[in-house]
Structures are given as structure tokens and as C-alpha cells.
Chain A
Amino acid sequence: MRIRATTPPVLAIALIVGAFFLPDAREGARDPRPVLVSRTAYACPGDVRVAAGQMTPARAVKAVGIPGGRSVGSLEKPDRWRLTKTKRSTVVQQFGRGSGGTAFFTTTAVEADGGGLIVASCPPTVDESWFVGLGSGAKHESRLELTNLSDVIAVADISLWGADGPIEAVAAKGIVIKPQQTQSLDVSKLAAGEPELAVRVERRRGAFAVTAFDGSRRVFGGSEVPAPTRAPRRNQVLTGLPAGARNRTLLVVNPSTSTSRLSVSVLGRRGTFSPRGLEAVRIPAGRVTTLALPAGLGSDGLSLRVQSEQPVAAVVRVAEAKDDYAYITSAHELAGPALVPVDLGGGTSRPRLTLSAPEAKARVTLKGFDRQMKQLGSERHELPAGTTSTVALTGLTDSDRLAYVVVEPQGNVVGSATFHKDEGIASIPLEAAPVRVLGPDVRLVG
């Protein structure tokens, strides 16, 4: 065997150079994977009208009022759209692979609480919930209702930010919620005299759901059960500012320790534009900042893209009249079909959908169903990139049996549904029904 003297070192160098270009065999982070949900659990408050449904018939539904554990039979039919009026908080568990059980409630608040229309989702257990725009003073009061969904105690930590900075609230950490109990907390007892508050409720132990009741008796009075907005982030879309709104206020909390610059762009009916004065707004660190949106944004339904240097949480409070307002929150892009209630049993009108395609052209298919989950009609809507469209649902079907609508997205779509009753207004973000959820990629290890 004859080998040239220079060959081995050259080969060694070639191998090492080759090693630079070979892929790293380590797997690294594994993205979460969708997992078919086989049980959903949510809590609906007491003394409201509840409408519950699912994407496909469930295997079983168990609904109990708490405390006491009394069964709520009217909610335990797994294969239909069901309505009931609760007397006390009710915990609903729905079983069945991928049934996508969801519930909503509606009520009209008493005058003392603002007197407006309330439409909201019955919340499931989440790791943390952010509410921006709550209050504890100046005729703006809020209340948190923590409902333990499990058989073991749950522990919650609450953090608050006001217009002047973070609030070190006494007894806001380690709040214990007993099994199958509801704990109601007036925000004023945690932080009194704050007209605009941001609240984060974090789950430390156990499983509980959070509902925030917000009422105002100021000039623009009303009430709302705001949906939790997304946790602070640098880029988000506040979806579905209804057409014709008179008062639009952007509320932003910057929980970081650095001042952030924020810019707002509008996804309007014809495209995206940046309103003057909102290109670079300074958001102080650790404070809730209130920004009145200019009237020049137009009267069409629209969405706001909020970009900031630091992670922020934001909502828009909108009012069409003086008697009620609604919150537009930062919603997730629809990862699956979303269920929109129509028949809430409370006399609300058919909701108006505000849909945006923030990234690229998208499409939605709307399907209407009656209480027996029978499809009544469907329609498609194209959503040009960077635009917002408003859908009144009037063309879906003429039938007064329409109970709910399923929104099936194709592409990146965010949206909300706005409800009206008399002068009242309420809005809920469109959230994908819990058919699949993201869970960690699990690997067995030896």
C-alpha cells in the first residue's frame, strides 16, 4: 500500500472542514404539538344565562352548581346547543375526544354595576390571565371571580399595575381557592382608588378559572366581562373594533422595567395604515397608559396592530353610546374552528363579526347551526391581506332557529363578535374551540 506523505494530514483537514458543515444531530427544542382534547372544563358565573355547545357531539357532560355540587341537568345534554339560566356558579365538564365544548353567558348588569350588556365566554383553566382596563375607583369598579374546577385547593397570585406604576397589593399572593368553591375578590380591596388597572392572575397551584366583572358609572358607563387579553408581547393585533364606535380608548400596560415605544397601525377595510400621532407613543415602564384613539380612524370595523419595544398587554375600550362599552382584546389567531353564539337566550341581536387577516390573504367559512346541531347554511368570505371585514351574519340564513355559527379559518385570521341589545354592547374575541390544544412534545426517555 503506497500512501503519499501529504495525504493523511490533508485528509484530516478535509474531515474537520467537513465536520463544520455537517448538521448538528442534537434535537434542540421541540415545538409543542397539538393534542386532541378529551375533556374540557369551564366555569360559568351564577345568575346569568348560559349557552353551551360543542363542535361535535360529546360523550358526556357534567354540570354542577357550586358550592353544593348540585347537578344542572339542562346543561348535560352532549349533543345539542343548550340554554339555561344559572342560579349559582356552575362548573361544566364535557367529555369526548375533540368535541370542542364551549359555553357563553350573557346578562345585563344592574345599574349599580354599570347597567350594560354582558356577553362573555365561560372561562376554562389557564396558566395566567391578563386584564387591562379594570378599575377600583372613580366610579369604575371591578371584581374578580376565581372558581376552583378541581378537587384540590388552588392557589392564585395576583399582580396589579396602575397608572402610576406597579401596585404592591397586600394579600394578592397565595390566594387560596378551596375545591369546588368560588372566591370573589373586589379589586378595590387589593388596590383602592385606581381608575385604570392592569391585573394579572397567575395560577400557582391547582386548577381554577378567572372571570373579571367590570362596571363603570362614569360619563361613558356600562359594564363588561372582558376576555383576558394576551400576555405581554411585542407584536399583537387587537381585533374587531366594531363599526360606528364613538369612543375608542387604547389601554396599555408595560410591565417591564424599561420604557417602551409603541406604534399602532390600523387594519382597515381597505388595507393597513398608520394613524397620525400613534407612530411612536412612549409607554412608561410598569404603568398603565391610556390613549384615546383619534376619530379619524373611520367608522368601519377595524383591528389595531400594536408593536412595541418591550412586551406590553393592551386592550381597546369601545363605546357606541354613553350607556355601555366593550373591551376589544388581543386575541390569538384562529388555530381551528371557532364557535360564535347567536342564540344566547337573552334577547341579543345576531352578532356582528369583525374579521382581520393580519398577515396574508385568508378566507373564512361560516356555518350556521340550530340547537340540534343541524347545519342551516354557510357562506364564505375572502379577507384580503392586512384588511378587516365586518360580517353581519344576516346572509347566512333567514331561519330564526340559528343557534350558533362556526367560523372555519383558512389562513391567519383573527376576529371578534360584537353583540348588541338595546344600547348595550358586548364583544368577545373569536377563540378556537378546544378541539386540539398545544401540549409539549413528550418523549419517553430511558
Chain B
Amino acid sequence: MSIEQGGLAGPNWPEFELRDDEAPPEEHHWLDNPPTVGAVVVAHNGARWLPKVLGSFSSMFYAPTAWRAVDVGSSDGSADLLRDAFGAERISFAPSGTGFGEAAWMGVEQLPHTDWIWLLHDDAAVLPGTLAGLLDVATSAEDIAVVGPKLREWPSLKRLLEVGVSITNTGTRETGLETGEPDAGQHDWPRDVLAVSSAGMLVRRDVWDDLGGFDPALPMFFDDIDFGWRVARAGHRTRTAPSAVAFHAEATWRGTRRRTAGDVPHWEARRAALYTLLANTSRRRFLWQYLRLIVGSILRFFGFLLGKDPESASDELLALRSVYAHPLELREARRTRAAIARRNVADFKHLFPPFWLPYRHGLDAVVEATIAMVKPESVETTGRRSAFDDGTPLDQQPEEQPSFVYRHPWLITSLALSALAVVAGRGLFSGPDAAAVLHGGALPPAPDSAGDWWRAIVERSHPVGLPSTGIPPVFLVPLAIAATPVWVVPGIVVSILMLFAVPLAALSAHRLGRRLTTHRAQRILWAVSYALSIVAVGAVAEGRLGTVVALVVLPIVANTAIQIADDPGWQKGVRLGIWIAVAAAFAPIAFLLCVLGLGLFVFLERRWVLRDALIAVLTSAALLGPWLVQRVLHPARMWWEAGFPIEAHASAIDLLFGRGGGPGAAPIWFNVALPVVAALAIVPRRTRHNVLLCWVVALAGLSVAVLGNAMAFTTPFGPARIAAWVGVPLVIWVAGLLTAVMLAVPEVMGLPRAALATLAVAVLLLPVGIGTWWLVRGTDHPLVNDVPSTVPAYIAADVGSTLVVTGSVERGAGARVVVDGGPFLGLEAAAPSRDRAHELQTTVARLLARPAPEDVERLSDLGVSAIYAPDVDPGIARRIDGAPGLRPAGSDSPRSRVWVLPGKPAKLSAEASPWRWLVGGGMISAWLVAMLLTAPVRRRRPLPTLGDEGDDL
């Protein structure tokens, strides 16, 4: 079949099927006097698409009267394909690096003179009625100079790419379509547009000649928009022909075309956008546009950096330089356009998108970036992408029409856990009045606003009773960042972490579980059991925020480490370090545990992960900074987690069954079967290796827990020894056993039914038992949601600070100085200077022994205006009664006593060095940078192309 006959000769070309709705009109008014059309196909390394493209030319209702193919330096056999299709005499060859416009010009020059020119790409296929549809519109009016088809996405074939195109005043190619918008005929009426794509563009030959074709300065991108703009200024119309459909793979735009020497650089797209805007903008708006694009480009540069898209950021600068460094070229372009102008831009202003559209796009970009950070698997990245193929064997895939529950078991489980958390947290979501906040046990209340946390990070002196110049705890930084969006109610962050600890931990554990097993049911059960272990150990009810956060994060740490084992990389090492830092900021012992874990990791994976493990340790150490140094100087303080240092003690039996001791721990018998079943899990030979590894991890946790249980630490406040809380290593012990069981489960499926039932009961005892217990007991006690009342309100409102005395003469007394209602979360660790702490301690000791007037005066000098003894020991009260000058005052309960000191308390000042804010600023900067690094990195990545997904052409 020859091209003159409207078809194309060639063996075995795949053919497009004609759909009913794409049939040509029955009558074409131009058929009586058919116009001549010369088609130019430009190819450049398009062998991947050309067979189908050329095949689509073979069955057109109305074919071009002349064909010309131009090959631009192809090295993939494209020229051979063209030669086979068109014959050698219709092929022209352009050197590599020739732009589309120049190649098209070359083809047009070698065509016989025709009424119309049809420009075709090597990655754009047409339907049999495409040209006929174009001519229907092209011949409908005299002033129509350019007509474009409706472009649909190839390979999906159903999604719209373009039905006409325009440009925003920021240089974005605007199609007016939603991303991925399917073609349902919603744009099927011809309309005037600024431009149409050069893929399938039908151009009147005389206009082409008058305008000189495409601008050679736009070799690849925006040449069509620039051409349409010039057509409009020349007084012609560009119109869409929706009845003409073409399929475009956008190989160059998507980067799927094999690149060769001479191809345009990546930043050419942005350069072309800037050039097109500046070359065509009216004289009146030129200066404004000129400056605006500079500023806009710089802003976009920083936006790309923040969005983890360094390559686009680089492109932005290179494009800006390329355009603005060649003013003469720009001037010449504007002069040329001015020469052919017949209309003002204002005359076709309606063909441009509204001015606000770029800002909406910007907002969309921010939303997308946020989603990318929150849910990285939802975007294409080269970084953390933990969601991957479920791996469920095909024979286990749900059959047709499975229930929603069966198709989304994890979603249902997560929702169920969240619902359980709501029920268990009854009474803790709101308090008796607006000032109520979650606190109790080891958890201090959150401040009134996120600003208090930010201020605590950078201020030189913390107003906490005796002024403190200590470096604030590093966990304030992530807390402040997280609380910033909920500025006036930062307690929401703490409430979510505490009350939804189980679903949060289950989510992170389940994500890790995907890497550990392909069996969905076991994985879900494992994740739920792990999450409930956090409740069972007593961390939630006792307000141990540090333990909760660390145990939510540790599965992510393990997940990231496994990613490194699969595919090492320094960025993953940094990411691992960041997560370790998050866990250790809240529970410093997690740092030690992670270092131990990394040691085991390196031992198992050998030297090839050593570098990344070291990077992880160094990164976390850098982020923890002075906080870590403080703890290293007093190693026992690694046990001091976020919150009040409340002592705990677990018996050996508690340790065995994963209970940290204290009022919030679950009964141990829910876990009695776990060690036994985990020991049995060693039996199957096939999974023994991995099960033993789990045991090693579990034993590491148990060892640390046993040692920690015998340790006590002191705080900077004084010599009080606080027995360590070992919740974090205990849950690691339990998690190791749970993992061992999970890995061995598939191997025991062949056991007799009775044995299986026994094992199932043993395995289910933990999640079902603890879940029920949690639901019945609730999350409260000692956790409460009410107005914090470290001291009675009328004392808190008074000037000066309050000395709070607890304990008894016989068992020892505790003393702390508070201002207002007491310290908020984070400032509980802000200790006064050693001298003042010692002075307070000795003064209170004298006060509670044989008080003298000077003791009262000294207290006043320390800024104390009142003494409050809640639940007072009579011996303590009598001794304070004996202090000369103290005046008893009314107390808030019969069991408490209040004394007021005479005179005005001194105003203490303590300020750290002026450079202190640099420490806080450095901490904030380090964490912000770290969080940006944690966000997914965007790279130029080939989009799905022909053959990558369903190709039903």
C-alpha cells in the first residue's frame, strides 16, 4: 500500500481498532474539493514506538497527499523502520541535535506544495479518522490556520493529554485538564485555543511559510505554544478538533526516549517556558514579566529544594541563566514577533488561563509535597519506599468479588484498633473544662501553646521554680514541630501519641512485618500483638511518653535497617540515624539498644553495611547533640526518658512476661504462653535460623531489661536515686519472641488439628487477652485529663514560686520548686544550677529539722513565696509549723497544708550565655534538615511507557 493510496505498506504492523464512538462523520463537506495535505514525520530514536505509529498510518479514511519523514540522528534503527515504511526517497536525515522545528522545516521544504501541513511525531499514533477530523475543522472557516487533535495518553489510551494548550504567566504549560482525566467526551466540541501540540498539528501551509515555522530557539519544548501565540498575533485562529484523536507517548517529556549526544538538556523545558513568555509578552507587560520571572524562578528554586527535588532546582537556575544571559537573542525574538503581529495580546486574552491558576498549582504542589512526606509510598521516590508487593502467593489471592474486609484486612484492623483506642481512652479525650490537659504519672502536661515549646528551645533561662539555664531536652524539637500546626492546642500531639499508641505502633510494626513475612494473617496478628505489648508493659497508663514514642519508632528503625541490608546507601544510613535519634530523644536507652542492634546487624550482614551503620550512629549522635553528651557523662541517665523521672521496679516474673511494674501494667498471665511457644518455634528446621535470630534480639532486650532493673539514676536536681523503668527493652524482648512465633507459624500448619488448636489458643491469648483487659481497664490512671494542679490555683496565681514538699520524716522527704502550675512537658528536665539546687536542698533539710528564721529568709531569697505540702505527713507539717515567720494559709484539701512566707520573694535571674540561642537554633536547624532528608527524594524517573502497563492499542 502506498502513501498516496491512503495506506502504508509494511509487514505485520499492529493495527488500531476502531471504536464506535470514534467513527468518522458520515459526510465531510470538504470531500467535494479535498484539500491537499503534506505530512511530515519527525523521528529520533523512536524505534520503540514507530512500529505502532507507522501501523496507524496505514488505515486512514483520508490520507495525506504527500509524506516526508525526517530522521534526526537516530541510533536505534528508526531510520530503517522509516525506510521500510516510506521508501528511501521520502526520507531526510538531519544531524543529531536538530530540533523538532528545524527537522519539520526540513521536511516541509522537501514536500510538494500542499494546502496543509500535518506534523507528526514518532511517538504519536493516529486513528483512521484523525486527519479527516482535523480537516473538518480546518476547512470550516477561512481564518483557521492551525488545528490540533484531541491527544490521549499512550499507553493508557483513555486518559486525556491535551485538547488545546496554553501557558500561564509563570511559564507552566496549561492544558485545562485534571491529571489523568479520562476521556468521556466532555471536551468534544471544537474551540479556539492559544495553541495545539505539534503532535498531529495541522497547519495551513501559507501561514507556516509566513511565520517561518517553529522558532529554532525552541528545539523541543514550547515550540507549539510559541507558534500558536504567533499565529494568534498574526490574526489567525488555532482550533481544536476533538473528533480527531491521536495517542501521544510524550517520550521526550517523560524522558523515556533514549538520549544521544546533541539532545537538549533537562533544563531546556524550563528555559523554553521562560523564553516563550518573554519573547511573546506584550511590550506593556514585558518589564513586569521580566522581573517577576526572576523572582518566581528563585522562589521555585527554593521550593524545589524544600520539596527534595534538587534536580529541578538546578534546572530552574540553569534555565534562568540561559535566558537572562542572552538578552540580545531575546531582543531579536521579540523584534521578529513584533514584525508579524497583526493583533494585540489583549485581543485574544481569553485564550490564556486565569491569573490565579499558577497559585492554585503551587498550593497543589505543597499539598503533594506534604502527602509525600507523610505518606511517602504514595509518590514516586528513590528514597524510602517501603510499600511494595504484598507477595501473597497467587493461589492465596482473593477470588472474584471478595468482601471488603477480605480485601482490606489491615485497613479494617487499623480502624478497629483506633476504635478500641477511643473506647479505652474514654474520659481522656476531654476534661472538665477548657484548661484540662492530658497528664499524670510520668507525663507532665503540655504547654498552652506550641510557642512555649519553641521558646523553651531557644530561651536563655527556663522559668521553672529555680531558674534553669540547662540545655532543654532534644525531644522538644520534634514535639514543637509536630505541634506547630495545632499551635493553640499542642496537647493534641501528646494525646494522639498516648491515646493512639496502639494503632500507631501497629501501623509501624505492620510495615516492618511486610518485610518479615508474606503471610498476611500472621503479619497482622503480630503487629497487633506488638502494639498491645506497649499497653501491657504499662507505658501508656503510666504516662511514659518516651517509651511510647520509642516503641512506635523502633519498627521503623528496623525497617530502615533492613532496607540498608537490601540496598545499602548513605542516604538510607542518614535516614536510619534520624529515626534512631527520634527514638533516643524520647527514650535515650533506645540509642544504646539501637547501637547494639546495629552491631548485630553489621555482624550478620558483614562489612558492606558497616559504612551505613556508622553513618546512622553519627547522624543520630549529631541530632541528639548536647542531650546525648549529658547522658553519656552520666550513663545511668540513659534510663531517664521524656517526662518526670518516676521510679519503677519489675519483679523477675514481671520481666519474664514483659511487664515493667507499676499501676498500668497488665496481668502477667496473658503472656504466660509466649515464651513457651517461642521456644517451640525453634523446632522447625526450615525457619530455625531466622527464629534464632529473633531470639538473639529478644535476649538482647531481656539482658538490658534485667540489668536496667537493677540500676538507678540520679537527676541534676539532686542525689535522689530513681530506679530505672525498663519498658523499652522489655517490649523488645516480647517483640523478639512474637517475631519468632510469627516466622515459625507456616511450618506448623501440618500439625494435627488438636495441636494446632492448642497453639492457636496460646498465640491468641496475648492479643485477645490484653486487648480485652485494655478495653475494660481503660487507658487512664494515673493518666488523667484535667486541669493540672501541682499547687492550688490561688498559690499558682501568686507572685513567686512555690516549694512543694512531699514525703515524711521517717521515709525521707522530696522537695521541688514550681512556678505557676508546674513545669510543662520538656521543662521537667530543666534543672537549676548545682549551687542553687544544693542551697535549696540544705535549706529545706534545715527547715524540716529545726527551722530558723534564716531558713525562711533563704527560701524567700530563692524566690519562694509559699510552701505547699500535698497529702502532708503530720511530722513534716509540725516541723514547718515551727518555722518562725511562716504563716499558715488555707489549703485545698484537709490533707494538704499551705504556708506563706513573709515579705516579697526575691526575683531570681539566671541566664545562660548570649550565644545559647545558637544551641537551640542549631538543634532546630539540624532537625528540620533531617526531616527534609527524611522526605522522599524526587528524581527524574521514567513514567510508565509503552509495554510497561496494559497496552491495548
Contact B813 A440 (CB under 8 A): yes
Interface-side segment among B71-79, B276-284, B848-856: B848-856
Interface-side segment among B18-26, B356-364, B696-704, B934-942: B696-704
Residue of B nearest to A205 (CB): B881
Interface residues of B in 139-154 (CB under 8 A from A): none
Contact B850 A35 (CB under 8 A): yes
A9 within 8 A of B: yes
Partner of B815, one of A12, A25, A438, A445: A445
Contact B721 A27 (CB under 8 A): yes
A170 within 8 A of B: no
B216 within 8 A of A: no
A24 within 8 A of B: yes
11 A-B Cβ contacts within 8 A?
Answer: A8-B692, A12-B699, A16-B653, A25-B724, A29-B811, A38-B846, A149-B882, A439-B845, A439-B848, A442-B815, A444-B815
Known interface pairs A8-B695, A39-B852, A434-B850; A15-B808 also in contact (CB < 8 Å): no
Contact A32 B810 (CB under 8 A): yes
Contact A443 B876 (CB under 8 A): no
Residue ranges of A at the interface with B (Cβ–Cβ < 8 Å) = 1, 3, 5, 8-9, 11-12, 15-20, 22-33, 35-41, 93, 95, 125, 127, 149-152, 154, 203, 205-207, 434, 437-446
Contact A22 B706 (CB under 8 A): yes
- CB of B724, distance to nearest CB on chain A (Å): 6
Contact A15 B702 (CB under 8 A): yes
A17 to B605 CA separation, bound complex (whole angstroms): 33
A300 to B762 CA separation, bound complex (whole angstroms): 78
B353 within 8 A of A: no
The count of residues in chain B whose C-beta lies closer than 8 Å to any C-beta of chain A is: 77
Contact A127 B647 (CB under 8 A): no
What 7 pairs across the A-B complex have the smallest Cβ distances? A439-B849, A30-B812, A39-B852, A8-B695, A443-B720, A444-B718, A35-B849
Contact A442 B853 (CB under 8 A): no
Residue of B nearest to A207 (CB): B882
A37 to B141 CA separation, bound complex (whole angstroms): 112
Known interface pairs A29-B810, A39-B851; A443-B888 also in contact (CB < 8 Å): no
List 14 additional A-B contacts (Cβ < 8 Å) besides A28-B811, A440-B813, A446-B716: A8-B698, A12-B698, A15-B703, A18-B706, A26-B647, A27-B712, A37-B850, A93-B884, A434-B850, A440-B812, A441-B845, A444-B837, A445-B717, A445-B816
B715 within 8 A of A: yes
Contact B706 A19 (CB under 8 A): yes
A29 to B808 CA separation, bound complex (whole angstroms): 9
Contact A445 B720 (CB under 8 A): yes
- CB of B650, distance to nearest CB on chain A (Å): 8
Residues in B neighbouring A41, C-beta threshold 8 A: 884
Contact A25 B652 (CB under 8 A): no
Residue of A nearest to B875 (CB): A127
Interface residues of B in 246-284 (CB under 8 A from A): none
Residue of B nearest to A124 (CB): B850
Partner of B882, one of A22, A23, A27, A125: A125
Contact B844 A26 (CB under 8 A): no
Residues in B neighbouring A434, C-beta threshold 8 A: 850
A375 to B698 CA separation, bound complex (whole angstroms): 72
Residue of B nearest to A126 (CB): B878
B807 within 8 A of A: yes
Residues in A neighbouring B647, C-beta threshold 8 A: 25-27
Contact B655 A19 (CB under 8 A): yes
Residues in A neighbouring B888, C-beta threshold 8 A: 152, 205-206
- CB of B681, distance to nearest CB on chain A (Å): 10
Partner of A25, one of B711, B810, B844: B711
A152 to B710 CA separation, bound complex (whole angstroms): 48
A95 to B692 CA separation, bound complex (whole angstroms): 71
Partner of A437, one of B652, B655, B806, B849: B849
Contact B721 A444 (CB under 8 A): no
Residues in A neighbouring B837, C-beta threshold 8 A: 444
Contact B703 A440 (CB under 8 A): no
Residues in A neighbouring B698, C-beta threshold 8 A: 8, 12
Residues in A neighbouring B879, C-beta threshold 8 A: 439
A202 to B716 CA separation, bound complex (whole angstroms): 39
- The interface centre, meaning the residue of A40, A125, A446 with most chain B CB atoms within 10 A of its CB, is A446
A38 to B816 CA separation, bound complex (whole angstroms): 23
Contact A37 B849 (CB under 8 A): yes
Chain B 687-698 near chain A by CB (<8 Å), digits 1 or 0: 010001001101
A282 to B845 CA separation, bound complex (whole angstroms): 43
Known interface pairs A442-B848, A444-B837; A11-B811 also in contact (CB < 8 Å): no
Partner of A5, one of B688, B696, B886: B688
Contact A445 B814 (CB under 8 A): yes
A18 to B603 CA separation, bound complex (whole angstroms): 27
Residues in B neighbouring A439, C-beta threshold 8 A: 809, 845-846, 848-850, 879
Residue of A nearest to B683 (CB): A5
- The interface centre, meaning the residue of B653, B688, B695 with most chain A CB atoms within 10 A of its CB, is B695
- CB of B788, distance to nearest CB on chain A (Å): 15
Known interface pairs A20-B652, A25-B710, A437-B849; A30-B811 also in contact (CB < 8 Å): yes
Contact B809 A29 (CB under 8 A): no
Contact A25 B849 (CB under 8 A): no
Known interface pairs A150-B882, A446-B831; A39-B850 also in contact (CB < 8 Å): yes
A62 to B538 CA separation, bound complex (whole angstroms): 57
A26 to B878 CA separation, bound complex (whole angstroms): 28
Residues in B neighbouring A446, C-beta threshold 8 A: 644-645, 715-717, 816, 828-829, 831
Contact A26 B812 (CB under 8 A): no
Interface residues of B in 845-887 (CB under 8 A from A): 845-846, 848-855, 874-876, 878-879, 881-887
B682 within 8 A of A: yes
Residues in A neighbouring B815, C-beta threshold 8 A: 442-445
A8 to B696 CA separation, bound complex (whole angstroms): 7
- CB of A331, distance to nearest CB on chain B (Å): 19
A203 to B888 CA separation, bound complex (whole angstroms): 14
Residues in B neighbouring A30, C-beta threshold 8 A: 811-812
Residue of B nearest to A443 (CB): B720
A12 to B720 CA separation, bound complex (whole angstroms): 32
Contact B828 A444 (CB under 8 A): no
- CB of B479, distance to nearest CB on chain A (Å): 18
A19 to B875 CA separation, bound complex (whole angstroms): 37
- CB of B168, distance to nearest CB on chain A (Å): 57
- CB of A123, distance to nearest CB on chain B (Å): 13
- CB of A27, distance to nearest CB on chain B (Å): 5
B649 within 8 A of A: yes
Contact B812 A3 (CB under 8 A): no
Residue of A nearest to B695 (CB): A8
Partner of B712, one of A25, A33, A441: A25
Partner of B692, one of A5, A12, A25: A5
Known interface pairs A29-B811, A439-B850, A440-B848; A16-B652 also in contact (CB < 8 Å): yes
Contact B882 A442 (CB under 8 A): no
Contact B884 A150 (CB under 8 A): yes
Residues in A neighbouring B813, C-beta threshold 8 A: 440-443
Known interface pairs A1-B604, A27-B723; A443-B718 also in contact (CB < 8 Å): yes
B719 within 8 A of A: yes
A31 to B810 CA separation, bound complex (whole angstroms): 6
- CB of B710, distance to nearest CB on chain A (Å): 4
Known interface pairs A39-B853, A207-B882; A9-B841 also in contact (CB < 8 Å): no
Contact B692 A24 (CB under 8 A): no
A441 to B679 CA separation, bound complex (whole angstroms): 48
Residues in A neighbouring B854, C-beta threshold 8 A: 38-39, 95
Residues in B neighbouring A444, C-beta threshold 8 A: 717-718, 720, 814-816, 837, 840-841
- CB of B568, distance to nearest CB on chain A (Å): 20
A38 to B721 CA separation, bound complex (whole angstroms): 28
Residues in A neighbouring B712, C-beta threshold 8 A: 25-27
Residues in B neighbouring A203, C-beta threshold 8 A: 878, 881
Contact B809 A27 (CB under 8 A): no
B675 within 8 A of A: yes
Residues in A neighbouring B653, C-beta threshold 8 A: 16
- CB of B133, distance to nearest CB on chain A (Å): 70
Contact A35 B845 (CB under 8 A): yes
